Chains A and B, each alone.
Chain A
């Protein structure tokens, strides 16, 4: 069953992945080639784990799976190369529009800043900029929405589930301890 819903050509539903079945989307060939390269690299690495030492060696299943990867990606590459290129789409508009590039970069920067700066400042920065950029509304609205939701997330994860995200520059733990002492003192009275 070849079911591609033209409405959801972008792959928003996993059950009907994006991609055209009879045409090659921009960049698809490069991606297929990249996958073959990755598969070959992983195969080489899998071979390096234990070689053909024994059936039960730690490398035997990785080797088998990477062989499957190499074969499958080779098939995909050949198939893709044969398909005609979809001229109605361009890489910059349909695959990597500026917003996607920008957000991927923002996420990368988030990852870099998370440890030194700490969870709260980094996330505040990310949310404010992202929501401001996407919604294009006033600063008061942007700040209220982003900081409000950040506080809710922080309360759930940090206080209820005690997930200790990197604290960074804010003395989070001391702050919480202060409130804890306050409650304890009041409870004791």
Chain B
């Protein structure tokens, strides 16, 4: 039996009166990296937001570990073990790096446990240790992205939803971030990755979804999408 961590069934969602997703069937298996790619405005970010209850689900269901979490409150979903790294505004700028991490571990009651977690995180992201006392708003773009992922990891999530973590990063950081994502997966976290950079995003993924105007245009193993003769050219700007 396959173990679906997150599943959406015929998901229709949007903001206010605007409908952006028109019936998405989507799932992630345990401990895989699934990358969602597609052109601008195809509803990639909205898919994540609909899963998390930020965008409004009009019909259809979101299932997390067998429980229906459609339109559930974000803080409750997060307490169930779903980590989220938004594309922009993904750190608290007026909190120090350490405080940002503490906020990530908000659901952990034990203070010693939190301290231990922060040490572990500093092992994974050594750059952050030097900036511990700095305001997160003063970090560079790459450091911010690291902090955002580190913050999401603090709560030991079972799944992490990452919204374009490589957007607006220098090439050096793009590879670094994607490597970290692979490391995080190897530590046992399931990953849903929304990527503008289709090639890089799919390279580290197990499976992929191609979203076009709010519908799933193609789905399959990541390699298959990368090597597909038309999908890449039509939607993703990949060159042969």
Whether both chains belong to one complex is answered with: no
